[in-house]
Structure 1
Amino acid sequence: MSSLPEELWTKILELGIQNSGLTYEDLCWISISCRLLHRLSSEDSLWNHLLSTDFPLFPACSFPYWSSKSLYLLRIKERILIEAAYQQRLVEEQILHYQEQQEIELSKQHHPEDLIEKKRLSRMVENKEIYIEKVVNRRLVEFNRQVEEFNRLKRAREKMRKLKYYLQLQEANRKKQEETERLAKLAEIHYKQRKREIEIAGLYHKKW
């Protein structure tokens, strides 16, 4: 494996993704084979392609603070949760539908209301895509809200950091100015003392 250059391994992985030969599960398995493939299989270019193919509604450019791999794995987790919720809902609806059928069979009465309800339940069971789309849209709105809140807090922290730096700079300049003035005063005092000493020494020499 070490005899092949990294560029060749990268090209192999890219071709595997582009030709739909490799899935995210394949990339995860490849990443644990060695350190080199672990690093190469985490490249954003690979996960960007998977993200745009499997989740076209969630382009990576819409979430600049997330890596493509993290965003893809988050979407996979959400898909699993949605599928589990749908399956649970489906089982509940099937149980309800079965109970309704049992009641109909026992009563031997085929009223129009019963037939309408049966058709409604059948349509609900078949409308999996509609149900998933509604859940995904709700999740997307909530996720966008969280991203916006995160960006707002980030901007606020950045503003506070700049303000703190400005205040620290002002304080440093003030101290520097005070130190400069103090040294100037000391120099002036030293100059006057030295001048006075010279004058006294001159008077002494004239006297003698």
Structure 2
Amino acid sequence: MKKYNTKTIPRATAKRLPLYLRNLTILDSKGIARIKSKELSEITQVPPATIRRDFSYLGELGRSGYGYEVAFLIKVFSEILDSNEENKIAIVGFGNLGKALANNNFRRNQNLMITCVFDNDPAIIGQTIAGFYVYSMDDFKQVIQEKNVKTAISTVPSEYAQEAIDIVVNSEITAILNFAPDRVEVPANISIRYIDLTTELLTLLFFDRNYKKTSLAVTS
């Protein structure tokens, strides 16, 4: 497989690659071998011209009038997005959402591993829950350095998110996925992404009301 220079891919394009890969994988599971940009646009709600431009940064992935081989695109995007390195992850906040994430433990990618979980609730600190020992946030820096963790997922509610993120940042974590929708302040060297479940649900309902279904329609 060709090696791709990911540093030349624009940030906006990079954000869409997981969306493409997720939908292409579903299409492949349905036995769809080839797709055109217009058809992929109907699924992802990304304009066809944007899809073609995104793909062009990676070379010649398809042919005019023919479209794209689904299996080939999956290989390309998988290579770009997947690292051969083991990525150890800490979960901050071990409530219902934290437990759900830990139980999933990224089964589709063996290089993503929930290594440790943290909370500030005395009732669960020191307990083993769902197979995970719950550490105190007071021990966060020591534990993640011992376990060489560089990524954290925060499920802490917005009103406490900044305090939790401050602890995470001060422990040499460089990548954070935050499930609290409100923005927090982090240093420029920290990569942080936000997931707002309410916004995602409203977007889903909007598309469900306003866009016609097609025979290729899948969850985006």
TM-score range, shorter chain: under 0.3
TM-score, normalised via structure 2 length: 0.23
The structure whose residues are more often helix, as a share, is 1
Task: Indicate the structure whose relative CO is greater, using CA pairs within 8 Å and at least 6 residues apart.
Answer: 2
The structure whose residues are more often strand, as a share, is 2
